[in-house]
A and B are shown apart, each in its own frame.
Chain A
Amino acid sequence: MKRFRRHGQESQRDRLKQELFQFNKTVEHGFPHQPSALGYSPSLQLLAIGTRSGAIKLYGAPGVEFMGLHDENAAVTQVHFMPHQVELVTLLDDNSLHMWTLRGHKGLSELLEIGRFTLTGPPGAPPSVTRVTAVLAHTSGELLLLGTEGGHVFIVEVPGFRELEERNISLDQVAASVPDDYIGRRNLEHVEALQENPINPNQVVIGYGRGLMVIWDLEKRCAIQHIPATQQLESVWWTEDGSYILSSHSDGSYCRWMVGGEDVNDEEEKSDIPYGHFPCKAISKIIQLPTEEGPPFLLFSGGMPRASYGDRHCITVIHCKTHVALDFTSRIIDFFVIRDGLQHTGDPSALVVLVEEELVVIDLQTDCWPVIQTPYLVPLHSSAITCSHHVSAIPLKLWERVIAAGELQNTHYSKKPWPITGGQNLAPDPPQRDLLLTGHEDGTVHFWDASGVCLYPLYKLSTAGVFHTDADPNDNMNQGAEGEWPPFRKVGCFDPYSDDPRLGIQKIHLCKYSGYLTVAGTAGQILVLELNDEAAEQTVEAKVVDLLQGQEGFRWKGHTRLDVREEPVLFPPGFQPFALVQCQPPAVVTALTLHSEWKLVAFGTSHGFGLYDYQQKNTVLIKCTLNPSDQLAMEGPLSRVKSIKKSLRQSFRRIRRSRVSLRKHHVNNTAKLQEANARLEAELAEMELAPVQRKIEARSSDDSFTGLVRTLYFADTFLSDSSHNTPSLWAGTNGGCVFAYMLRLPPVEHRADEPVTAQPAKEIQLMHRAPVVGIVVLDGHGAPLPEPLEVAHDLARSPDMQGSHQLLVISEEQFKVFTLPKVSAKMKLKLTAVDGSRVRRVGVAWFCSSRTEDYGESGLVVLTNQGDVHVVSLPHVKMQVQYPCIRREDVSGIASCVFTKHGQGFYLISPSEFERFSLSTCYLVEPRCLVEAPLHSGSSSQRRSQPDGASSTHRTRQDSEDAEVLQEIQKSLEGDQTSFLENNVKSAVA
């Protein structure tokens, strides 16, 4: 009977679960890891990036992004958009070609792979014959020219990848017509470059690795002109007017060749080694673009003097008298130039450079060519991310002040709007303003707008100014010495080199209502900062806190405390530090929390924890949690690494010594020596092959780092008796111990002069001794207590103080609810004992029902060491749902995970990218965007291909017909989009 009733309830609960929870990975923020190819479609205004892991990502206007993944786990080596179409072709490392398209579906576009193709050569031909080295997407949109390692050019019809064998340009055909004095010397080598004549799509130039370039007529299927360059070819560029060809070479030179009718004129027009005299590196790509009035822009990458600047990653831009070598932070993958005008044929407006670690866009129309701030693809890892903190629903006031502070930092950026504007972002406006704060190794905290699809940088806080560091103050990024040659200018913000690893940020806590921020770092420093709209010069007084409390026998072998600047420091508008606590020993801060209403900060390290009153600037409480027999915690963070190193070194020494001694004593007895050596080898092999085994032992109080403070929590609850609630501080340690302190705060009017006191109230030792990773107090209704000031700002229901409160202690192994004020176990949920996974990250989140708007409930969001996310109900701690999220081997991904208050989360999928996921059915941030086929392409081709007008006018008509059909389809799909479309069509037809 009972069983039946429960069953009914459970199915009802199951239904509710479906309304509340749903797992989605929604969007990847940041910069793709290991980009390997760049493509751009001027007509779509879309940028495409291929990566070494086979991902292809498309970006347009902010919020317009698409992602695709090749099934093959091979690097993308080239990306080419089909001109004037929504298709693009990718070439992978494994020599396969893939056709992708943006297909409309329910009013949104999706990136889909629609075909794949691998060149097949004649039977018996070596693989190099079909190994693709150059790709040209022909402007007709119907042909793909593929140059190969064997020197052949294959012509393929797309879409569909049909090989047009009769049109292929074989090496023999070309070689037959090459002047004997050239061909006689060497093989032509592979096809390095393929370029189309901008004014005659029937002519292409084929550049061979050896240096020879051949202009080929696709219609007549014959060579028109031979350009006999003698240096190894790197790239070819056909100038806009079709009259010149530029070629760049491996010796750092570039040449300009006249395109003429007759073959006789094969003299190079002009050759130059821009950074010459001494040997130079190759110029890997060269572009020349005309301007309406005045000389053209010349851009090329590489070509630096090999000995002096061979390690620089430069793109040189030359226009009029201006000559700048843009010095990038990492290897250049590729670059392109965006041009003005409806047909994208006007003046160059922006240079877009993809380097290995960031995307840099340079405004070529403003003096000094400033950088345009990128709204996406921002390198999260400009310095390595060490921690992150998410704050949901930021009040508008704080939001505006943060943005204002950030704008003052961005004065060196160009004022021009973002030049890549393809597609429409159809995602609804985010329901709230969310901030993601990332702490970095160099002591900076970056504030990101995490409300929508674009993780946009708002503000950057640097804490390094408070301390004396080894950094050279004159090390300015943007200034090169006068008269330096080449004229370098550093661009980009990727800077992985930290001045001092002690500056690294480990914990962040921001109070969104008061604007107080506390950050804590690697060397035990805790800064309390306040948002100030004016610059201020102030001295930050340091308070050293001895967490050992006289513990004997301690030897700290780790780093020293940071050296604080004693003189006043000028802090720019934004978050300005006003209080500093330095832990002694200066171990990394492992837990941090802020209560802005009580004006208290609690912090913990592996040695203990403390409570700091930042209004009176003194410490209220210090508690040492160190176990005196814990040697590892006693010695500091480096000793462990050192000991491994030491033991390795010792064992190698031992082996070497035994070998040497063997040699000494038994030089004559080779057999014995061999035997001994064999034994040593066997020993070594055994050492390597010893099976991985795990010790099964209950935890004991003597384990290492039991005193490490894992979590700190402030709560206004019933600690001593059930009639009076008091402020309290809770701390949980690695050894499964929970400490509770009753806090006595003076009345508000005496807050500044009467001391705050803390009294030990309770200590709970969990029997299973697993690390305590979270503490939450639940009110009389079983709901988690609200954040400080949340009630005061009318943003949360005040907690129920009538019913009895409960304490939820989350250890790595189980969730356990205790009664308060008398602590006795009420219920629990075992995790590890049942499935062997352990809690790594936990957060409290609010879930709304997707069906009934007014229903919602709190839940615990949990990430385990197996990479699964769970939702656990409150207050009954019952497992609700479980989804696999991160690979269990991805330890850094699991460690980086941060949850939002509304059931979303972020984790690092690479040093530079956050994956965003959602467990909620209601709060989803995912790209929703539409890209339409370029409708004005016809007129563009009309202008470009005047010589044979007949064919292109025909094409125009066809295109506009297409446009009409498309328009009808779009109309039927969505009513409100049509006006935009009509405008587009009108402009295209006109």
Chain B
Amino acid sequence: IVLFPLVRHSRVRAYESELRAARLEAVPLEPGDPHPLKSITVTDSKSRRGGGRRGSTSSSSSSGSVAPDPLSSMLDGTDPLSMFAAASASEAPTLSHSTAVGSGRKRREKEEEVGPDFEPWSAKRGEILARFTTTEKLSIVSEKIHWLAPSPNSTVSEKVRNRLEELDDMEEGSQRELLNLSQQDYVNRIEELNQNLKEAWSSDQKVKALKIVIQCSKLLSDTSVIQFYPSKFVLITDILDTFGRLVYERIWSMCSDSRAMPESFTADDVNDTAKETCLNWFFKIASIRELIPRLYPWQLGCTCHIFIGIQETLPRLTAMIRGIGDPLVAVYARAYLCRVGMEVAPHLKESLKKNFFDLLASFRQIHSDSVQNQLVLQRVEIPVYLTLYSPAINWILQCVSYRAPEDYINCAEIWVEFTCRHFTKREVNTVLADIIKHMTPDRAFEDAYPQLQSVIRKILNYFHDFSVLFSMERFLPFLDMFQKDSVRVDVCRSIMEVFIKHQQEPTRDPVILNALLHVCKTMHDSVNALTLEDEKRSLSLLINGFIRMVSFGRDFEQQLSFCVEARATFCNLEPVLVQLIHTVNQLAMETRRVMRGNHSRKTAAFVRACAAYSFITIPSLTSIFSRLNLYLLSGQVALANQCLSQADAFFKAAVSLLPEVPRSITVEGKLRSSEAFLLDFISNFLSTLLVVPDHPEQGVLYLVRGLLNMVQDYTWEENSDAKVRVYISALPLLAAMSQDTYLYAIPKVDSNETLYGGDPKFLAEVNKLCETLIGQVLDHLKALGRDEGAGVRKQGTLAFSLFGCLLAHGDLRNNKLSQLAVNLWNLSHKHGYCDTRNSVRTLEYIKHQSQQPDMAHLSEMALRLSLQSRA
């Protein structure tokens, strides 16, 4: 590329033509405009002849008496063009081709400041050209350019003279009117101008190049064949772009050591010569008479960084556009300005916004008479006319909204409510997609969590049907924008709250399940070592709410596999695991109900699978009472489903877990003795054991014995009667076990009563066990008797409990037993610590019972029980 043709070091003088050049430059005259110099110039016909070949297009007058014309002599110095020439003279040799290329590369890098997520103008071009076409005839009418230009004088150099000739050429060429052009002709003509521009530039005819640019800009004020205007805009701004590139590279290369220039150079980096050149361009452009031909090159100046101080220039240009009366011309000028703004200073949002607001403010212009008349004249309908605006408005909006996440999200937050209220999920999904698109670059969402949360809340307000909600394909990606853990969990929480509140029916919708599993998993995964118990509890509650709402109906296996999956997903939240075990137990019971108690081979296998699920899940719980209770419960369920060995395993597990129960546990943050809980559990356990049949390979009552052995070996609290209490409470069980028909039974499960059929050996075993227990209790009572204080009081209470037990369950016709009972009564009353009212009532009960058949022996015993035994 020969940007800067070599300029001679010494000037060749051609005095004749220099003389000719001494004419004043043609200054276009308005009719009636007094020519400032006319009055004192003498028309020199000779000099015009001298100019021979070019007739009289320029007013060839030369000043008669004026000494060196100041205007033209300036040309030699500060005129930008001579500046270029001068610069090339001194710099051309040092400027290598690579510098120019290098600067081009730099420029491209600069453009990339906007980022690849910004759809560039070049992407819009083709579409606009294809969309806005016409079959009407077009015309290019060029007028003279009015600007303030210094006039030549007698000392003007050859160089300047040449330029003046070019100007005249240009004016000659431009003064024609090209009519009846087809669209293609028009495009060709514009392309021709583009080529002319490049040629003019490369042959150092900078003013000609600028004039072409101004001429082209002028075409943009012409709205005849209005439907072609957008395409015209594209074609002409292409030329402007070409010019901008050339100027930029020129100025770049004028900075003597352009290699060392920072990528985005500022006024300080530019040397004086380049600065002066820029200023000259600036003054030249600022003095262009007409608004639009001034406005476009001015904007172009921004892209070339000619005008240092973009901060002020962009708002000024924005305001200047208000002077354009035609709304279509104005909107495209705004689009161009936005484009310039995005290119040079994408961070200066203010003027982009101002452009947009000005656009709104002047929108009513569309309905002005001027526009309407024009449309009538051109026979263009309003709807067609309005489409002409779309590329420009689209572009302006794209610029305004680009990386303006804050404004964007504030609008979107409001907009989404409107969409939710009045439209369907499809439109809401579109809005979500758009929000994602805008908030993802630069992780803009990080600053907009409150708004994004509000978006979610609004959607949840209007969409209670979760199958609809989750069928919006951008909903989950939207949730992915909440990347700060606390916010993310909050959002999930609010979703789950709405779900639990509004979901009426259990669901098996895979979309809902997948999405909510994802949501719940998010909540679950937020749990770490630092999570507060309360937090865990509330999260668990929400997840449990979800699990409870999942039902696959009769598809039990599916349900079980869901629980398997859920267990894997929520393994860190104990309450959820507990819920899952309950769910599975319930599932087993549901199966039993459906089968009316008669399991098929398949359902039997299934309930065993349920049992297995519980069996392997329970050990992972840390709370020992949860484990115990769940073992017991699951054992009961297994038993109910005739899974004897499974039930056995549960109970055995429960028994073998007993020694691990700590003496104190934490309940609601406070350390408490576990004794009461343990006693409760054991009582519960004992009552279950009534129906549990003995294992054929184990000894009689092996579970009961096992349990009692554990009780015996357990390290109870010191001075505690708990162990003895357990013994006492085991007595009713043993009594129940020795009945012919048990108090309760499980359908289809044979309890010991059936297994042993009242075998005396079995009964003897039971009796022996009773005796052992009673013996233990009595030993304990004896031991308590040695302690005068609290021991005696406890002794009384325990003795009375045992008495009650014997009374209720023992066969008091047995003299030994009845004697024992009487002794116990007396013992309990011995120290006067017993509750008299209780005693009285007991006595009344005994007397009442003695009225029953076969109970006469009680009346005899009652006589032996005295109320007053206080010593």
Do A and B come together as binding partners?
A: no
Seen from chain A, the residues whose Cβ lies within 8 Å of a Cβ on chain B are: none
Seen from chain B, the residues whose Cβ lies within 8 Å of a Cβ on chain A are: none
